[in-house]
Amino acid sequence: MSTTPTDDQAVVSFRQVTKSYGTGSSIIFALSDVSVDIRRGEFTAIMGPSGSGKSTFMNVAAGLDDATRGGVFLASQPLHTMDDTARTTLRRREVGFVFQSFNLVPTLTVAENITLPFQLAGHRIAPQEQGWIDHLVHVLGITERIAHKPAELSGGQQQRVAIARALAPRPAIIFADEPTGNLDTRSSREVLQLLRSAATEYGQTIAMVSHDPIAASYADRVLVLADGRVVADHGRLTPQQISQLLLTAEGVPA
Ligand SMILES: Nc1ncnc2c1ncn2[C@@H]1O[C@H](COP(=O)(O)OP(=O)(O)OP(=O)(O)O)[C@@H](O)[C@H]1O
């Protein structure tokens, strides 16, 4: 088994990664011998039928969960050899998250939510970092809402705050888990366009789990999982092409 990442451009590298639950006849392989890289600066969509291993892939890549076997590298660091404390430190420094349910802290203002990753890392915000945060707030169109609490914002606005919070520390990668799952069509399009621009304009690496072919059509690359394996790996595709690809993946025998 290879134990080193082979590609300098990889922010996440999986080397023959298996994740199983249970033992004996009841063993379930959530990931089976997966070797794949998430490349720097790319917006990658991770798709696949329910139960295909998408959440497991994301959790293992972010160091939230252990692989059973294989090598997992995040920002060139071997997650599979680290203890929980080292992984948490690495995750705080290198990973941003955007969730379907926004996950903002209800008691904090928008401004406080955006700077939360810095507080959690015990990091005092430098003037240059504050400039970047101000820029993000402006670009994401939440300047007017900066002193409000999340409950006073629409879903689309809340997700824009979550994106600002994820981008603010300039992490190596942002994992977005169904980021448009709770949004209407218009807000979804805005959020996807913001993620697209973050990759294009800031070189932000993004890995997005989604069931939605339209959402995945904003990505540079579409990975399809089925039964814990990568069964398709394509460059940019249209929603129609992605729908076709998913139909094929659904047909992969378990
Ligand atoms: N904690 C666990 N214990 C046992 N089995 C698990 C556990 N977590 C996930 N699994 C199993 O691993 C497989 C992959 O699950 P995973 O949640 O990664 O799929 P998914 O593609 O994200 O699904 P969905 O689209 O429905 O969220 C499934 O068969 C699931 O039942």
Residue 8 lies in a domain: no
User: Alpha-carbon distance 10 to 62, whole Å?
Assistant: 14
Residue 218 lies in a domain: yes
Contacts of 11 (CB under 8 A, 6+ apart): 38, 39, 40, 74, 75, 172, 173, 205
Residue 231 lies in a domain: yes
ipTM over 0.90: yes
Residue 88 lies in a domain: yes
Shortest-distance Cα residue to atom 16 of ligand 1: 53
Which residue from 54, 212, 224 has its CB within 8 A of the most atoms of ligand 1, so it is best to mutate? 54
Contacts of 10 (CB under 8 A, 6+ apart): 37, 38, 39, 40, 73
Exposed/middle/buried for 112, CB within 10 Å: 0-12, 13-18, 19+? middle
Sheet strands (E) in 86-146? 95-99
Residue 56 lies in a domain: yes
pLDDT tens, residue by residue, 59-75: 999 999 999 999 999 99
pLDDT tens, residue by residue, 175-209: 999 999 999 999 999 999 999 999 999 999 999 99
* Structural domains counted in the chain: 1
Residue 49 lies in a domain: yes
CB 216 within 8 A of CB 176: no
210 close to ligand 1 (CB < 6 Angstrom): no
The closest-lying atom of ligand 1 relative to the alpha carbon of residue 59 is 18
Identify the CATH number of the domain in which residue 208 sits: 3.40.50.300
Residue 237 has pLDDT above 60, yes or no: yes
Q: Write out the residue range of the structural domain in which residue 117 sits.
A: 40-63+83-250
Residue 177 lies in a domain: yes
pTM of the model: 0.92
pLDDT tens, residue by residue, 111-120: 999 999 999 8
The closest-lying atom of ligand 1 relative to the alpha carbon of residue 19 is 12
Residue 33 lies in a domain: no
